[in-house]
């Protein structure tokens, strides 16, 4: 009996808090709508100019990124060039490959679609000049050679390298087959490291 009374009292308190919060949110929204209704032509013009300025800045940022090679998929010939490229960009996807490895060609095909690129599996995911994560093999992509481009997009989204529009908590391949939802996240690895450097197609 006491437990029922306690649960009932807790429910009433929770309901009261929810009602108060809803009322505050509604009052805030009403206030914002009223402000918009009372804006004169000058205020609307200032709001429009502010939005146009934000669009100009976004376009300028896009042009700056394009001038630095963003959106390109190309081979970088040396380690020194690699680090120079990475320093100049906030987000980088780096595909370490070998021409003779069949799986590298599969990953390359998907990257070409995702990044709209025209040039040719371990991916180093770099953000703000620092390696954040690695995608090693196809385990994180459904553990199959026939993974979808959306699976790769999801995995890059999990590391905040791309903006993934779907649910990051549900891998796209989860509905296709029963795979685990955990992906491998390697904390640190040097380019010259010996760990995970196999190019075998048997993994």
Is 125 in contact with 133 (CB distance < 8 Å)? yes
List phi, psi (to 5°) of 170.
-125, 100
Give 51-71 pLDDT, tens digit per residue: 889 989 988 888 887 777 776
Domain boundaries, the chain: 69-172
Over residues 95-118, the mean pLDDT reads: 79
Quick one: pLDDT at residue 118? 41
For domain 69-172, give its CATH number from 3.20.20.70, 3.20.20.80, 3.40.50.300, 3.40.30.10: 3.40.30.10
- Report field, pTM of the whole predicted structure over 0.85: no
As a whole number of angstroms, the distance between CA 166 and CA 155 comes to 11
Quick one: pLDDT at residue 182? 52
Give 18-56 pLDDT, tens digit per residue: 889 999 999 999 888 888 788 788 888 888 899 889 989
Helix H or strand E encompassing 143: none
Is the per-residue pLDDT at 186 higher than 60? no
Quick one: pLDDT at residue 120? 41
Give 78-88 pLDDT, tens digit per residue: 878 888 877 87
Burial class of 78 by CB neighbour count within 10 A (0 to 12, 13 to 18, 19+): exposed
Round the average pLDDT of the chain to a whole number and report it. Answer: 78
Q: Give the confidence band of 183 by pLDDT, cuts at 50, 70, 90.
A: low
As a whole number of angstroms, the distance between CA 18 and CA 12 comes to 10
As a whole number of angstroms, the distance between CA 162 and CA 31 comes to 36
Give 109-144 pLDDT, tens digit per residue: 888 777 754 434 778 888 887 888 888 778 888 888
Is the per-residue pLDDT at 181 higher than 80? no
Q: What are the tokens at 194?
A: 């010996």
User: Using DSSP, how many helices (H) and how many strands (E) does the chain show?
Assistant: 5, 3
Quick one: pLDDT at residue 12? 85
Over residues 150-163, the mean pLDDT reads: 91
């Amino acid at each position: 009996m006491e437990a029922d009374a306690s649960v009932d009292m807790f429910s009433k308190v929770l309901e009261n808090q929810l009602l108060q919060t809803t009322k505050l949110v509604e009052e805030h929204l009403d206030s914002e709508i009223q402000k918009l209704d009372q804006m004169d032509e000058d205020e609307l013009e200032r709001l429009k100019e502010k939005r146009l300025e934000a669009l100009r800045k976004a376009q300028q940022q896009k042009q700056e990124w394009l001038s630095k090679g963003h959106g390109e998929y190309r081979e970088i010939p040396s380690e020194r060039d690699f680090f120079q490229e990475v320093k100049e960009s906030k987000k980088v996807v780096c595909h370490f490959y070998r021409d003779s490895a069949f799986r590298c060609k599969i990953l390359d095909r998907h990257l070409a679609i995702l990044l709209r690129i025209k040039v040719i599996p371990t991916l180093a995911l770099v953000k703000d000049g620092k390696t954040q994560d690695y995608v090693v093999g196809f385990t994180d992509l459904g553990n199959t050679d026939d993974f979808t481009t959306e699976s790769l997009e999801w995995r890059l989204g999990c590391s905040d390298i791309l903006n993934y529009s779907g649910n990051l908590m549900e891998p796209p391949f989860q509905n296709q087959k029963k795979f685990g939802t955990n992906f491998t996240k390697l904390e640190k690895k040097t380019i010259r490291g010996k760990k995970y450097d196999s190019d075998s197609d048997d993994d």
